[in-house]
Structure 1
């Protein structure tokens, strides 16, 4: 048994971002362990041999290895903003599946032996166009305020936009661009992007949030 659940995280990983955002908004405290991906701690690999973040080790020893499971666990403990009332699993699955695949090939074409990622960029735009249409009716997918679906998707749209920010900013997707700008500029996002040193065994625990 440990004093707090342990969350292994990496600041710039979009999966870890969405997990941290849900934990932060829930107010459920965890011990945050910042990981360097090229130097993963053996304690994390022992808990989760797959070696990817985020990983949450609960006080009873159970391990959650998927970011969406971590989000839902945190919000099941405490959901003060009512995020779970808007959990559009079809949109999230489309984000984590076809959109993420297109994003990776657009951003890192050399990893997939592609001359460039333009075809995959265009494929990703179909999903983003659908999001823009949905957001034309309300500032967030969850309505007047962000909710689970927004936060599950947001870090990946941010990554897409940052690949070529000038090009993205010129797209005729004003509702999506406003949504992204609001989330990037939010106090919640600023709070979960605090820089922490790489965790090593024996370090003073970092309590989060």
Structure 2
């Protein structure tokens, strides 16, 4: 009969204290990587610069990650998990019953806030040399979001043919992404004004279609 594990170990036989210490170190390295990616871009970043930002030696970094790509994959996975949670918060069934202007607030506000709180998301999801696993997962999420936008529009435009719904959804998504680039690049004092402009653009595009229906 195998020996029972004591309170300081789990099923892997590793002391819990050691595991917790390792998890904190991983979180520290990922936070440093996010900062470096935002400052230099993914391509120019290196494991040495990430280790330096984290205040550890490169050898310590290599205990947890074999290379920069592995760090990017782990960070990308965490960011996409947070994005899925935010996306779920934005597209609740209750929001879909709101008037158009209130719907835009309810959907866009959490998405915009996420981008402010996670600046590495845009860098890591749209860079030219991002690991394939990250881009594939991002593309899948992008596709699911586009489908959700189509579903929302279909609810507001019940008499509109499906091809037109798809076309409008693509335009809405393109305006949102382009507008977010401008919002994120704006000076902090100007951000609210640019956010308001983005919502106004979307409202003025969609509202006449809703009115026609």
Q: By percentage of residues, which structure has more strand?
A: 1
Higher RCO (CA 8 Å, separation ≥ 6 residues): 1
| Structure 2 length-normalised TM | 0.31
| Structure 1 length-normalised TM | 0.31
Q: By percentage of residues, which structure has more helix?
A: 2
Answer with 1 or 2: which has the greater Rg: 2
